[in-house]
Structure 1
Amino acid sequence: MKIKGQNYRTIWFEEKTSEVKIIDQTKLPHKFVVKKLNNLEDSVKAIKTMEVRGAPLIGGTAAYGICLALKNNPSNENLKFASTKLIQSRPTAINLKWAVNKMNSELKNVSEKERYLFGIKKAKEICDEDVFFCRKIGEFGKKIIKDCLKKNNKKEINILTHCNAGWLATIDWGTATSPIYHAFKDGIKIHVWVDETRPRNQGSSITSYELNEEGISNTIIADNTGGLLMQKGMV
């Protein structure tokens, strides 16, 4: 998706410099900062401090974190150590544990000499797979949006979101927002009511931010307002 007109993913491997980069989401919406992950410690910190957030993105970060740990020490002992540290960074994150286990399964029979580059390849595949899934959610979801417009004989649809399940929570497209983006790209007029989502305000600081960058009309509302809007048929 886009920020200032340029396409980004939330995490990516820079081929020319062999660097893993993320968007530091603790700085949004006031600053757009791209940050480099240099090692395992940076990856763990990014997850713990919510520089990266959202289950799919945390999983992608963990996959690359394994690779960064193995860059200078590809031993089995270090693989085990890195896996433990990453899982402990957010024990309740299912995608994180899945990604770590997936990387372990892929790497266990690979020679130590080849582990880093092979791991980078597999981390990319994990991220690409998430983009594929999110794109499919959007393709199927936009059909539902079109059906709602047709059923209600309206030219514009109002959708309410809570928290952030947008592209900044995944690798690209998002889950809940993917149908919105796909429908908007098809020319459907959309307005989004964005719950601010206390206490961390992911809605007001992140969901609204990414919708604005895509040019989608949205209004930030207090969390309790959502019920009233639904009662009045405004969603």
Structure 2
Amino acid sequence: MKVEEIVPIRFSERQMLVLDQTRLPGEEKYIEMFGKEDVFVAIKKMKVRGAPAIGIAAACGLYISMLDYEGRDLADFRHEVHETALYLAKARPTAVNLSWALNRMEEKLASYEGSVSGAKRLLYEEATAIRKEDEASCRRMGEYGLSLLKPGMGILTHCNAGTLATAKYGTSLSPIYLGQEKDYGFRVFADETRPALQGARLTAWELMKAGVDVTLICDNMASQVMKNGWIDAVVVGCDRMAANGDGANKIGTSGVAILAREYGIPFYMFVPTSTIDLECEKGEDIEIELRDGKEIYQMWYKEPMAPEGIKTYNPSFDVTPAEYITAVITEKGIAYPPYTDSLKEIMER
């Protein structure tokens, strides 16, 4: 299977289907989105996940949610769009692409003065544009990322920032797919990424589908494979990057970055410009989503793997300080420290 055949969101004028990633790798099942509640649950329950894909799902979902609106007053329609956007924005607060996509959809209607049916058409076209732009963005990130890598490298990745998390190619996995096309022979090591196991269930699944040499490891094995000399670079995605270069990504990412620094291994964070939040000064200002502790000890087991009533702490993300990030790869180019300057310059291009 080629990367083109892995499609997390199928979208048309009358239908939106989401590949239920909670069922992977055992079952490839698409679920239809009929309204805002379906879209909210799909994002909240991580049936669709990954910052870019969340943004795409929000945009497509906002359109689908308004498809059967029967009123004819444009002001009332705009109000309903706004209320629906506010509702969807609460599904997962850390990923800035969610609010970015919804704001962009609303802005498309801001100066429109036509009919409600025309407004619906604008929403459809904007959702389609967001999706197409993400695919092109991922391709460009892959090309920039590939310029930092060499054939035969061993590459460690954490969580899933592949085509399942985007429109196509992925962010941090994009150079791996492009390298596969050029016979670079990368050897990828995928952290399982506890507690939701996106590395084991998703990254390993899609890389194997594409014929990439991938080895699955537990999160606490990263230090050992680095010590063995098997890792030449670390590539990860990002759900929100602050203006100073601090990057929020799946829980455990900051630990990998610290290990990479210890072993002298470059740590590359792949960040679409839609994920860069210049209004957020530093990582401490990023809201971190806390999830149900049952994900830690019950979700993947026939029987609970911890005593009943145990206290849990289950943050979905952590923030990697800018000082541990070797370079930030965007669709507009590569940013290097100091990020306060380089990210601003990237965003102004």
TM-score (norm 1): 0.90
Which among 25, 29, 52 is matched to residue 29 of structure 1?
25
Which among 185, 190, 198 is matched to residue 189 of structure 1?
185
Cα pair 1:68 1:116 within 8 Å, conserved: no
**How far is the alpha carbon of 1:190 from its aligned partner?**
1.7
Q: 1:172-183 residue pairs with structure 2 within 5 A? A: 172-183=168-179
What CA distance in whole angstroms lies between the structure 2 residues aligned with 1:84 and 1:72?
19
1:205 aligns with 2:201: yes
Cα pair 1:11 1:22 within 8 Å, conserved: yes
Q: 1:66-85 residue pairs with structure 2 within 5 A? A: 66-73=62-69, 75-85=77-87
What CA distance in whole angstroms lies between the structure 2 residues aligned with 1:180 and 1:93?
24
**How far is the alpha carbon of 1:108 from its aligned partner?**
2.6
Cα pair 1:194 1:220 within 8 Å, conserved: yes
Amino acid aligned to 2:19: I
CA-based RMSD of the aligned residues comes to 1.6
| Counterpart residue number, 1:90 | 92
What CA distance in whole angstroms lies between the structure 2 residues aligned with 1:202 and 1:51?
11
Unaligned runs of 5+ in 2: 72-76, 232-349
What CA distance in whole angstroms lies between the structure 2 residues aligned with 1:32 and 1:201?
17
**How far is the alpha carbon of 1:21 from its aligned partner?**
1.6
What CA distance in whole angstroms lies between the structure 1 residues aligned with 2:185 and 2:43?
36
| Counterpart residue number, 1:103 | 105
1:144-191 CA distance string (max 9 Å, x none): 223xx4xxxxxx221111111111111110111000000111111121
TM-score (norm 2): 0.61
1:226 aligns with 2:222: yes
Cα pair 1:190 1:217 within 8 Å, conserved: yes
> Which secondary structure does the structure 1 equivalent of 2:196 belong to?
coil
What CA distance in whole angstroms lies between the structure 2 residues aligned with 1:98 and 1:43?
16
What CA distance in whole angstroms lies between the structure 2 residues aligned with 1:100 and 1:163?
25
| Counterpart residue number, 1:167 | 163
| Counterpart residue number, 1:129 | 133
What CA distance in whole angstroms lies between the structure 2 residues aligned with 1:105 and 1:13?
21
Report percent identity of matched pairs: 37
What CA distance in whole angstroms lies between the structure 2 residues aligned with 1:116 and 1:160?
43
**How far is the alpha carbon of 1:39 from its aligned partner?**
1.5
Which shifted more, 44-53 or 69-78? 69-78
> Which secondary structure does the structure 2 equivalent of 1:89 belong to?
coil
Amino acid aligned to 1:125: A
**How far is the alpha carbon of 1:9 from its aligned partner?**
2.6
| Counterpart residue number, 2:12 | 14
Which among 110, 118, 123 is matched to residue 122 of structure 2?
118
| Counterpart residue number, 1:152 | none
| Counterpart residue number, 1:65 | 61
Q: 1:134-153 residue pairs with structure 2 within 5 A? A: 134-146=138-150, 149=151
Higher relative contact order (CA 8 A, sep 6+): 1
> Which secondary structure does the structure 1 equivalent of 2:10 belong to?
strand
Which shifted more, 55-64 or 108-117? 108-117
> Which secondary structure does the structure 2 equivalent of 1:199 belong to?
coil
Which shifted more, 179-188 or 222-231? 222-231
Cα pair 2:50 2:161 within 8 Å, conserved: yes
1:60-114 CA distance string (max 9 Å, x none): 0110121112212261221121011111111222000000100000023333221
Amino acid aligned to 2:205: Y
**How far is the alpha carbon of 1:14 from its aligned partner?**
3.2
- From the two aligned structures, give the one with the greater helix fraction: 1
| Counterpart residue number, 1:46 | 42
What CA distance in whole angstroms lies between the structure 2 residues aligned with 1:193 and 1:92?
26
What CA distance in whole angstroms lies between the structure 2 residues aligned with 1:185 and 1:2?
10
Amino acid aligned to 1:133: S
Number of residue pairs the alignment of both structures matches: 223
> Which secondary structure does the structure 2 equivalent of 1:144 belong to?
coil
Cα pair 2:186 2:213 within 8 Å, conserved: yes
What CA distance in whole angstroms lies between the structure 2 residues aligned with 1:144 and 1:92?
28
